[in-house]
């Protein structure tokens, strides 16, 4: 059974059924690749800050494996007018220290999440729409927004709720464990930065009895060390199994692999704005004063030159899936008609000739070496495929992410690989920030690195952002994506990475597309 | 002597100053942590707020002056990733690295010197040849690979020793040490051995070279002629005279062991400073980078000082001149 279904069902179970809950039998030791740098769930949106938070804290809502919203601390929510949402809260919920959970904690947490000035990756965007939180009674809050915000619950649903009783606390109070008190299925026992954290079951969790009495999370950054720890039985579960070890582990007795396509999309950004694109040349390597990438036929030709299946089969040993759009199936805005382009060099050559480049042109591809697994290998394969179509590849240049991200965002490359994990219920924010016309004043298109611009697309996304009806919103987003990829090929989606876990005998794991390694995804067999 | 000491301290302060300036310039060339870490949901306004809250919109010289001013008051700044003082972050992890490095140092002396003596005193016997051959492997094999092999052998195949983390620790002076518990020692053995392999080989080869050289000197011949016992000849006259190069290598190597423990720490998931500095560089966590390098510079200066002082104890001819 899926974790979220279990959670949803468990939530409906009357608390009196506790007598029938399964006995707490086992302890669990997990080996996790991401270190934990803070226990303060409001400090950063990075997994180094919130990976463990899903076990310690709850949000207003829970995002299921289908990426949609399910009730968690909020049991229902509805807009009462354009600028106000009313949220009903779950009764009889208690924090780990016994304090009662009430509407005040919502007010407190939303405010705290929006006021972390020292964070380079603040949670502020999630609460930016909130104008005022009105506590109606213990179990009802009304949230006033600055502008009509249909996506309010998607956004504030990501904020973890902590107890207002601690008042003005800072990150150190969370790290020491004093304020790291949530309502989640596990309680914090201890945390040693860089090494391990220990959790214990919260038997009074509103979602039912957690499955393990004691959970130890060990932070093992090195992938070989993680695999060795699993094989030597020092841990029961590991995440981020390196693809080169998957076949070996499959052959080991008592080890099971759990893999699922994830929301992590790798795509190729193309420079759509500069006439003198920095890394575009003619087919003999001389500078070119028109930019062929601005021609949609060239972009479509490039897409047809990439043999996505060959990449996912050979570079990733099938631990990746060809991508044809930005959304995954089930996500709002997914379009059934957008399938990954098939490898078709003949059609590509025709398109290139039509665009006026029968002899091709020259291109340098860029990527980051240390962000996603095997990106450098994948982009080298792509370079050879593109070269086979008659385009001269001047170089493939891969750099450390710290250098790469700054240069890519400044627009110093012409064609470059980028990764994006959009685990939201729908693609509206991804489309708004990633592809709407870059406009500082309007606050849209902030990360539109290729500088794609299409008024029709902008309008559709704008309408979707204001649409309260979910079905209608998803339909608008679908239409927008069909323009973005189907008509304009503004970026070239290449593949979705798989997320892979391995477990030892006696344990199983819910491979999930959100790439979460929380204790709730582990089950005893 | 006092002037010599003061001069050394002044030099150290200048090195620290130059190092911090270099870090500021270097990190600034690459960019800032906001652009690396910020949520892709953030708009330009949020990004700008984050950048100015952390002071990255100020000119570099101004950022540097602010840093210097705070540093003089003992505040190196908060880590951008840990949201706590960078020095605290380092200090939390330093004991782990220190005890690993000390354990490696002890192993290198306990194993390296006796084996080196054997190889130097009896160069012709088979055991010596084996020792010398294995010592070549000791400093030519990459420690990353050796570490994984140790794990495969002792943890995965034999199941004798744990391969990750520090194990059980005891808190002394507010710091966590694992060498005080049996479980902690078990956890420490493999990483300490891995870290020490290179040093064992170095000490061994130095000891052997020194021994075979010293054996032919006049004073050893004289000691023999005088009828001193072989134990006293080797234990006092030979050993004392070969110690200067060994102390230099062990001492100066100790700073290096701390600085380069990163590979061993990563492979054995040892919660020390090595892994921390790599992560910090990747996300441009400038306060931690600065604090870490300041600590390393200080350690190097202190060790150099101790090495120089120990020369005077080992060899009365050595004087720490005022012009040194």
B93-144 pLDDT per residue, tens = 888 999 999 999 999 999 999 999 888 888 888 888 899 888 988 888 888 8
The answer to whether the CB of A130 falls within 8 A of the CB of A110 is: yes
| Residues in chain B within 8 Å Cβ distance of A43 | 83
| B54·A120 Cβ contact <8 A | yes
The C-alpha atoms of residue B286 and residue B281 are separated, in whole angstroms, by 8
The reply to whether A3-219 and A262-498 are identical in fold is no
The C-alpha atoms of residue A45 and residue A119 are separated, in whole angstroms, by 10
Q: Percentage of residues in chain A with pLDDT exceeding 70?
A: 95
Return the pLDDT at B316. 74
The answer to whether the CB of A88 falls within 8 A of the CB of A139 is: yes
Q: Establish if B80 belongs to a structural domain.
A: no
Helix (H) or strand (E) holding A281: strand A280-281
Asked whether residue B19 falls in the same domain as residue B168, the answer is no
The answer to whether the CB of A58 falls within 8 A of the CB of A183 is: yes
Phi, psi of A48 (to 5 degrees): -65, -15
Q: Tell which wins on pLDDT, A118 or A220.
A: A220
Alpha-carbon distance B18 to nearest alpha carbon in chain A (angstroms):
23
Answer whether A147 touches B (CB < 8 Å): no
Answer whether A37 touches B (CB < 8 Å): yes
**In 3D, which of B18, B20, B22, B16 has the Cα closest to residue B66?**
B20
Max alpha carbon distance in chain B (Å)? 87
Chain A residue with the nearest C-alpha to that of B155? A232
Alpha-carbon distance A330 to nearest alpha carbon in chain B (angstroms):
20
| A124·B46 Cβ contact <8 A | yes
Return the pLDDT at B190. 93
| A128·B46 Cβ contact <8 A | yes
Interface test with B, best of A113, A121, A424 (most B CBs within 10 A): A121
Return the pLDDT at A19. 38
pLDDT per residue as tens, chain B (324 positions): 788 888 888 888 888 899 889 888 888 888 788 888 888 878 888 888 888 888 888 888 898 998 889 888 888 888 888 888 998 889 888 889 999 999 999 999 999 999 998 888 888 888 888 998 889 888 888 888 999 999 989 988 888 998 888 888 887 777 778 888 888 889 999 999 999 998 999 999 999 988 888 888 888 888 888 888 888 888 878 888 888 888 888 887 888 888 778 889 988 988 888 888 888 888 888 899 999 988 888 888 888 888 888 877 777 777 665 444
CATH of domain A262-498: 3.10.105.10
Identify which of B36, B50, B155 has the shortest CB distance to residue A119: B50
Answer whether A287 touches B (CB < 8 Å): no
Asked whether residue B41 falls in the same domain as residue B91, the answer is no
> How far, in Å, are B31, B34, B160 from residue B196 at the CA level?
37, 39, 20
| A194·B276 Cβ contact <8 A | yes
Q: Establish if B77 belongs to a structural domain.
A: no
CATH number of the domain residue B251 falls in: 1.10.3720.10
Asked whether residue B125 falls in the same domain as residue B177, the answer is yes
| Residues in chain B within 8 Å Cβ distance of A172 | 84
The C-alpha atoms of residue A196 and residue A212 are separated, in whole angstroms, by 17
Answer whether A117 touches B (CB < 8 Å): yes
Chain B residue with the nearest C-alpha to that of A120? B34
Asked whether residue B313 falls in the same domain as residue B190, the answer is yes
Asked whether residue B171 falls in the same domain as residue B305, the answer is yes
Identify which of B30, B163, B275 has the shortest CB distance to residue A221: B275
Single residue among B25, B42, B72 that ends a domain in this structure: B72
The C-alpha atoms of residue B244 and residue B55 are separated, in whole angstroms, by 50
Angle at which helix A470-481 crosses helix A455-466, to 10 degrees, equals 160
Asked whether residue B139 falls in the same domain as residue B18, the answer is no
Domain interval for residue B18: 12-72
Return the pLDDT at A317. 87
pLDDT in tens, A366-408: 999 888 888 999 999 999 999 998 899 999 999 988 889 888 9
Asked whether residue B203 falls in the same domain as residue B101, the answer is yes
The answer to whether the CB of A294 falls within 8 A of the CB of A356 is: no
| A195·B31 Cβ contact <8 A | no
Chain B residue with the nearest C-alpha to that of A230? B156
Q: Establish if B140 belongs to a structural domain.
A: yes
Return the pLDDT at A118. 83
- At B110 the three-state DSSP class reads helix
| A444·B45 Cβ contact <8 A | no
Return the pLDDT at B300. 83
Identify which of B33, B44, B84 has the shortest CB distance to residue A175: B84
Return the pLDDT at B23. 87
For B146, half-sphere exposure in the C-beta direction (CA atoms, 13 angstrom radius) is 18
Task: Compute the Cα dihedral for B170, B176, B178, B180 and give only its sign.
Answer: negative
Return the pLDDT at A11. 44
Single residue among B72, B96, B113 that ends a domain in this structure: B72
Identify which of B35, B39, B163 has the shortest CB distance to residue A232: B163
The C-alpha atoms of residue A309 and residue B270 are separated, in whole angstroms, by 39
Radius of gyration of chain B (CA): 24
Domain ranges of chain A: 3-219, 262-498
Interface test with A, best of B39, B89, B162 (most A CBs within 10 A): B39
The C-alpha atoms of residue A327 and residue A426 are separated, in whole angstroms, by 8
- At A412 the three-state DSSP class reads coil
| Residues in chain B within 8 Å Cβ distance of A400 | 282
Tally of structural domains, chain B: 2
pLDDT tops 80 at residue A4: no
Asked whether residue B28 falls in the same domain as residue B124, the answer is no
Alpha-carbon distance A155 to nearest alpha carbon in chain B (angstroms):
10
Identify which of A225, A406, A433 has the shortest CB distance to residue B41: A433
The answer to whether the CB of A490 falls within 8 A of the CB of A295 is: no
**In 3D, which of B33, B61, B76 has the Cα closest to residue B291?**
B76
Interface test with A, best of B48, B150, B164 (most A CBs within 10 A): B164
Q: Establish if B36 belongs to a structural domain.
A: yes
| Residues in chain A within 8 Å Cβ distance of B272 | 194
The C-alpha atoms of residue A199 and residue A57 are separated, in whole angstroms, by 12
The band of A276, judged by pLDDT with boundaries at 50, 70 and 90, is confident
| Residues in chain A within 8 Å Cβ distance of B171 | none
pLDDT tops 90 at residue A341: yes
Asked whether residue B60 falls in the same domain as residue B109, the answer is no
**In 3D, which of A129, A156, A195 has the Cα closest to residue A59?**
A156
Answer whether A339 touches B (CB < 8 Å): no
Query: Any idea what DSSP says for residue A131?
Result: E
Alpha-carbon distance B69 to nearest alpha carbon in chain A (angstroms):
19
Answer whether A224 touches B (CB < 8 Å): yes
CATH of domain A3-219: 3.40.190.10
| B166·A229 Cβ contact <8 A | no
Query: Any idea what DSSP says for residue A23?
Result: P
- At B293 the three-state DSSP class reads helix
The answer to whether the CB of B254 falls within 8 A of the CB of B101 is: yes
Alpha-carbon distance A33 to nearest alpha carbon in chain B (angstroms):
10
Token reading at A188 = 């914090």
How many A×B Cβ pairs under 8 Å? 168
What distance lies between CA B239 and its chain's CA centroid? Answer: 25
Query: How many other CB atoms are there within 10 angstroms of residue B219's CB atom?
Result: 12
E strands present in A108-254: 130-137, 140-145, 186-192, 196-201, 212-219, 237-238
Averaged pLDDT of chain B: 85
| Residues in chain A within 8 Å Cβ distance of B281 | 402
The C-alpha atoms of residue B265 and residue B271 are separated, in whole angstroms, by 7
Q: Establish if B79 belongs to a structural domain.
A: no
Return the pLDDT at A22. 47
The residues in A 413-472 lying below 8 A from B, measured between CB atoms, are 420, 429-430, 433-434, 440, 443-444, 446-447
**In 3D, which of B300, B307, B207 has the Cα closest to residue B251?**
B307
Alpha-carbon distance A222 to nearest alpha carbon in chain B (angstroms):
6
Contacts of A361 (CB under 8 A, 6+ apart): A280, A281, A282, A283, A288, A292, A391, A392
The band of A180, judged by pLDDT with boundaries at 50, 70 and 90, is very high
Name all contacts of B252-257 with Cβ < 8 Å and 24+ positions apart: B252/B303, B252/B304, B252/B307, B253/B105, B253/B199, B253/B202, B254/B101, B254/B105, B254/B303, B255/B296, B255/B299, B255/B300, B255/B303, B257/B101, B257/B104, B257/B105, B257/B195, B257/B199
The C-alpha atoms of residue A465 and residue A19 are separated, in whole angstroms, by 46
| Residues in chain B within 8 Å Cβ distance of A177 | none
Token reading at B257 = 């062991």
| Residues in chain B within 8 Å Cβ distance of A229 | 155, 163-164, 269
Asked whether residue B41 falls in the same domain as residue B90, the answer is no
The answer to whether the CB of A39 falls within 8 A of the CB of A188 is: yes
Interface test with B, best of A113, A193, A194 (most B CBs within 10 A): A194
Answer whether A223 touches B (CB < 8 Å): no
A294-298 average pLDDT score:
95
Identify which of A224, A232, A370 has the shortest CB distance to residue B159: A232
Asked whether residue B257 falls in the same domain as residue B219, the answer is yes
| Residues in chain B within 8 Å Cβ distance of A122 | 38-39, 42, 46, 49-50
Angle at which helix A455-466 crosses helix A428-435, to 10 degrees, equals 140
| Residues in chain A within 8 Å Cβ distance of B83 | 38, 40, 43, 118-119, 170-171
| Residues in chain B within 8 Å Cβ distance of A433 | 40-43
């Amino acid at each position: 059974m899926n974790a979220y279904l279990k959670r949803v069902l468990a939530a409906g179970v009357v608390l009196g059924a506790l007598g029938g809950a399964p006995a707490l039998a086992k302890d669990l030791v997990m080996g996790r690749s991401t270190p934990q740098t803070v226990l303060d769930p409001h400090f950063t949106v990075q997994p180094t800050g919130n990976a463990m938070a899903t076990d310690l804290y709850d949000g207003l809502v829970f995002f299921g494996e289908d990426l949609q919203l399910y009730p968690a601390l909020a049991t229902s929510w509805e807009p009462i007018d354009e600028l106000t949402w009313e949220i009903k809260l779950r009764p009889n919920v208690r924090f780990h220290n016994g304090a009662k959970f009430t509407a005040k904690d919502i007010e407190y947490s939303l405010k705290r999440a929006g006021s972390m000035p020292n964070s380079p990756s603040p949670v502020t965007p999630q609460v930016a729409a909130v104008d005022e939180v009105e506590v109606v009674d213990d179990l009802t809050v009304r949230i006033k927004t600055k502008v009509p915000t249909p996506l309010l619950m998607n956004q504030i649903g990501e904020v973890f709720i902590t107890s207002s009783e601690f008042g003005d606390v800072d990150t150190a109070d969370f790290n020491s464990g004093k304020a790291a008190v949530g309502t989640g299925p596990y309680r914090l026992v201890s945390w040693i930065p860089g090494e391990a954290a220990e959790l214990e079951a919260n038997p009074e969790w509103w979602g039912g009895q957690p499955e393990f009495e004691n959970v130890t999370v060990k932070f093992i950054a090195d992938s070989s060390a993680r695999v060795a720890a699993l094989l030597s039985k020092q841990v029961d579960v590991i995440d981020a199994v390196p693809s080169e070890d998957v076949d070996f582990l499959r052959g080991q007795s008592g080890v099971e692999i759990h893999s699922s396509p994830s929301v992590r999309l790798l795509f190729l950004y193309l420079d759509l704005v500069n006439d003198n694109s920095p890394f575009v040349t003619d087919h003999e390597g001389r500078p070119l004063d028109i930019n062929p990438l601005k021609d949609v036929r060239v972009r479509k030709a490039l897409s047809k030159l990439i043999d996505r299946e060959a990449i996912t089969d050979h570079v990733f040993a099938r631990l990746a899936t060809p991508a044809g759009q930005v959304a995954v199936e089930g996500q709002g805005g997914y379009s059934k008609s957008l399938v990954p382009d098939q490898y078709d060099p003949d059609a590509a050559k025709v398109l290139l000739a039509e665009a006026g480049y029968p002899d091709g042109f020259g291109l340098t591809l860029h990527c980051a070496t240390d962000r996603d697994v095997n990106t450098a290998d994948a982009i080298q394969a792509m370079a050879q495929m593109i070269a086979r179509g008659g385009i001269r590849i001047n170089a493939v240049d891969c750099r450390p992410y710290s250098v790469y991200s700054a240069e890519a965002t400044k627009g110093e490359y012409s064609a470059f690989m980028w990764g994006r994990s959009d685990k939201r219920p729908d693609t509206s924010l991804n489309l708004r920030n990633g592809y709407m016309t870059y406009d500082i004043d309007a606050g849209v298109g902030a990360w539109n690195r290729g500088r794609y611009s299409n008024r029709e697309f902008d309008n559709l996304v704008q309408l979707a952002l204001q649409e309260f009806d979910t079905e209608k919103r998803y339909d608008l987003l679908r239409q927008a994506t069909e323009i973005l990829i189907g008509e304009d090929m503004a970026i070239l989606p290449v593949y979705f990475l798989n997320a892979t876990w391995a477990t030892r005998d006696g344990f199983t794991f819910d491979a999930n597309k959100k790439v979460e390694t929380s204790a709730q995804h582990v089950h005893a067999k | 002597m006092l002037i010599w000491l003061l001069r050394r301290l002044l030099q150290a302060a200048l090195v620290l100053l130059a190092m911090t300036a270099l870090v500021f310039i270097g990190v600034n060339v690459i960019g800032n942590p906001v652009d690396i870490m910020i949520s892709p949901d953030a708009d330009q306004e949020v990004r700008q707020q984050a950048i100015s809250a952390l002071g990255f919109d100020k000119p570099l010289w101004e950022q540097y002056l602010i840093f210097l001013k705070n540093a003089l008051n003992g505040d190196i700044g908060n880590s951008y990733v840990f949201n706590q003082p960078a020095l605290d972050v380092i200090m939390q992890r330093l004991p782990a690295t220190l005890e690993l490095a000390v354990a490696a140092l002890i192993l290198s002396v306990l194993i390296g010197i006796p084996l080196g003596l054997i190889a130097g005193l009896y160069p012709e016997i088979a055991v010596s040849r084996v020792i010398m051959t294995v010592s070549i492997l000791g400093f030519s094999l990459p420690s990353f690979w050796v570490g994984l092999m140790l794990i495969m052998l002792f943890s995965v195949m034999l199941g004798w020793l744990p391969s990750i983390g520090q194990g059980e620790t005891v808190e002394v002076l507010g710091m966590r040490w694992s060498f005080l518990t049996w479980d902690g020692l078990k956890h420490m053995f493999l990483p300490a051995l891995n870290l020490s392999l290179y040093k064992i080989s170095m000490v061994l080869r130095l000891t052997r070279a020194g021994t075979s050289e010293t054996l032919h000197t006049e004073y050893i011949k004289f000691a023999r002629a005088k009828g001193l016992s072989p134990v006293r000849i080797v234990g006092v006259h030979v050993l004392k005279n070969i110690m200067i190069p060994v102390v230099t290598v062990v001492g100066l190597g100790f700073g290096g062991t701390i600085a380069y423990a990163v590979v061993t720490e990563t492979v054995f998931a040892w919660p020390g400073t090595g892994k921390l500095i790599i992560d910090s560089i990747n996300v441009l966590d400038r306060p931690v980078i600065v604090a870490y390098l300041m600590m390393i510079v200080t350690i190097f200066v202190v060790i150099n000082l101790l090495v120089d002082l120990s020369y005077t104890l080992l060899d009365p001819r050595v004087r720490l001149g005022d012009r040194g």
